Structure 1
């Protein structure tokens, strides 16, 4: 099967979508399939990947607000490439110009709109938070839902990257054909990487003894991650128990967060750790993951933490909530630091051995990215077979 992903979120310096597609290219090649990405960039260029797959870069203007990304100017060059490549399946995740020119392309391929995010949650709900209720914001921007419904009618299927996104879109009245949860690279994460000496060292950096509780937070310092809520919650819980927070990440809110934790030696900001083996050892050596965002489309960090044997403290809405089983997790009301502090207290009031055993058992059940790729190809195969049966009939 040849799959072509027309993707405006893929760039040389991109984030999660780029990581997902790079890994997916390799896995599909191993399974005997081919994934080709068509992405906008500074110049026309073809890039063959040695472990399978190919990138067609199409000369396009940059995104003014974020120079890490580019936007397709028009669909002509992209559709010409599709005519040349003759794919079995075309994927697109952009709701803007590509949504229409891919939908109108006259090729024989299966057309899939694959949602990686929710623009309503990422922008209007965040911008207008505190000004209007979520229900009113949804009503104000119902035009966007109607807009999506129009172009989705041109596609054979609307697929999301997990149940959290599917619930949001279905709540707005859109028809979602399938929720295909993403997976992680299970080759790196493991509870066996836990290092008690490293844990004690990390607690010492937080001015805490080895018997204290070590929380870890992962993610960009961005408003949507709600790190101020997490920091406030840890400070509240710290009044009743010895608990510290290591926050790994960076971003535009860093200075704001540093001012918030000033004077609290039990909470520290650390730069991202890009060396995979070291990062996985750090993650496995914490006592629990805490997360603040209720807008995560897919709980990637929660899955990575769980694969490392960590219990979870996460909001009761969003992608992280989808993997937060009560056996090894505590949830709280989004944006509520008092509720989050109570969740911290509840988690560490449990019997540690039983809690960690439950998390360790769950680690073996985390979906891998290979599992995701296999399930996605099987789903596309079923759709193609259904189309052939309809044609014969």
Structure 2
């Protein structure tokens, strides 16, 4: 089956979507499918072609807010590309304008919308959550809910990676929601990669000795990730327990993160690495992953941390909460720095080593990306056959 992914979030500069796309291309071919990734690019070209997998682009402008990315803006050009590729199944990976374009395409292929983003949680609930409840906010954003229901009508399936988002979409009137959790890239992350020398080195960069607790945060430096809140809470908790915070990431909110760190020597910001083996070693060598974003659809880094035997200290909503296992870290109230501070303090009070022992024992059960794609492609085949029947 030829599966074409209209991949609005793809960027050659890396990130979770690139990791996801690469594994989709590799595994799809092994499972007997042809995977075509159609991304917005500088020009129309085939960037990569190998057995069973193609990465192609059509011309698209740069995204003003983050010029590492482009966005689909030419519906006839997108439809023409779909006509040329003649897919058996079409997947749209963004709930924005490109999904509407895919829904309006006149081709006969079955199609699925994969919710790789949760705009209401990332923006509306974050902006207005301190002054209104979600029911009120949803009423204020009724036009977006209408947009989502129209997409539900235009697709055969709406895929989410977690139960929280699936529940909200269903309560909002969508009728074709299916939850197919994502997973970690196999072969990279393991508790066996723990390196006490690396841990001591990272703590030393924070001006601390090996007796301190090492927290790791990984992800884009963007407002919805709430890194300044994480920095503030860690600094407050460190007043009771020595605690180092290492952040790995880059993005549009970098200056705000640097300002939040200020002169705090116990928090350090490092550029992200494209070396997956190096990231896996760093994760396995920390004492806990701390995350600030309640708007994740899956939270890949939390899953990678789980596979590394790392306890999680994460908000109680969104994809990060879906990764949490009781006794292997702490949940805190989303967007609440005091609750996060208390969670960090309680984590150390209850002995991080015990949390990590339980997380290490549970690490092999972490779901893999291959399991995700096997289930996803099976659902696509069933829908394609049903439509053809």
What's the TM-score, normalizing by structure 1? 0.92
- Contact 1:287–1:311 (CA under 8 A) maintained in structure 2: yes
* CA distance in 1 between partners of 2:304 and 2:133 (Å): 33
Q: Which has the higher contact order (CA 8 A, sep 6+)?
A: 2
- Contact 1:186–1:307 (CA under 8 A) maintained in structure 2: no
State the match for 1:84 in structure 2. 84
* CA distance in 2 between partners of 1:167 and 1:328 (Å): 25
Q: Is residue 192 of structure 2 the alignment partner of residue 200 of structure 1?
A: no
Superposed displacement of residue 288, structure 1: 0.6
- Contact 1:189–1:307 (CA under 8 A) maintained in structure 2: yes
Q: Is residue 156 of structure 2 the alignment partner of residue 156 of structure 1?
A: yes
The structure with more radius of gyration = 1
* CA distance in 1 between partners of 2:385 and 2:99 (Å): 24
Q: Is residue 118 of structure 2 the alignment partner of residue 118 of structure 1?
A: yes
- Any residues of structure 2 matched to 1:111-150 within 5 Å, and which? 111-150=111-150
Aligned-residue CA RMSD (Å): 2.1
- Contact 2:169–2:177 (CA under 8 A) maintained in structure 1: no
The 1:113/1:243 distance shift into structure 2, 3 A limit, reads: same
Superposed displacement of residue 5, structure 1: 1.0
Q: What secondary structure does 2:154 align onto?
A: coil
**Post-superposition CA distance 1:304-341 (Å, at most 9, x none):** 11111111110111111001011212100012122112
State the match for 1:172 in structure 2. 172
The 1:162/1:49 distance shift into structure 2, 3 A limit, reads: farther
Q: Is residue 66 of structure 2 the alignment partner of residue 66 of structure 1?
A: yes
* CA distance in 1 between partners of 2:33 and 2:237 (Å): 50
**Post-superposition CA distance 1:345-390 (Å, at most 9, x none):** 22222345532221012211111111111111111223234445xx
- Contact 2:115–2:297 (CA under 8 A) maintained in structure 1: no
Q: What secondary structure does 2:365 align onto?
A: coil
* CA distance in 1 between partners of 2:205 and 2:70 (Å): 41
Q: Which moved more, 1:305-314 or 1:220-229?
A: 220-229
- Any residues of structure 2 matched to 1:41-56 within 5 Å, and which? 41-50=41-50, 52-56=52-56
Q: Is residue 11 of structure 2 the alignment partner of residue 8 of structure 1?
A: no
Superposed displacement of residue 200, structure 1: 1.5
State the match for 1:318 in structure 2. 318
Q: What secondary structure does 1:20 align onto?
A: helix
* CA distance in 2 between partners of 1:359 and 1:214 (Å): 16
The 1:163/1:354 distance shift into structure 2, 3 A limit, reads: same
Superposed displacement of residue 101, structure 1: 3.5
State the match for 1:343 in structure 2. 343
State the match for 2:375 in structure 1. 375
* CA distance in 2 between partners of 1:175 and 1:44 (Å): 36
* CA distance in 2 between partners of 1:50 and 1:384 (Å): 24
The 1:128/1:271 distance shift into structure 2, 3 A limit, reads: same
Q: Is residue 187 of structure 2 the alignment partner of residue 183 of structure 1?
A: no
- Contact 1:38–1:78 (CA under 8 A) maintained in structure 2: no
What's the TM-score, normalizing by structure 2? 0.92
Q: Is residue 21 of structure 2 the alignment partner of residue 18 of structure 1?
A: no
Q: What secondary structure does 1:265 align onto?
A: coil
Superposed displacement of residue 285, structure 1: 0.7
The 1:315/1:252 distance shift into structure 2, 3 A limit, reads: same
Q: What secondary structure does 1:72 align onto?
A: coil
State the match for 2:210 in structure 1. 210
- Contact 1:14–1:69 (CA under 8 A) maintained in structure 2: no
State the match for 2:257 in structure 1. 257
The 1:64/1:350 distance shift into structure 2, 3 A limit, reads: closer
State the match for 1:289 in structure 2. 289
* CA distance in 2 between partners of 1:353 and 1:15 (Å): 30
Superposed displacement of residue 129, structure 1: 4.8
* CA distance in 2 between partners of 1:349 and 1:168 (Å): 35
Q: Which moved more, 1:30-39 or 1:52-61?
A: 52-61
Superposed displacement of residue 295, structure 1: 0.9
Q: What secondary structure does 2:216 align onto?
A: strand
Structure 2, unpaired ranges of 5+: none
Q: What secondary structure does 1:364 align onto?
A: helix
- Contact 1:90–1:109 (CA under 8 A) maintained in structure 2: yes
The 1:68/1:221 distance shift into structure 2, 3 A limit, reads: closer
Q: Which moved more, 1:166-175 or 1:372-381?
A: 166-175
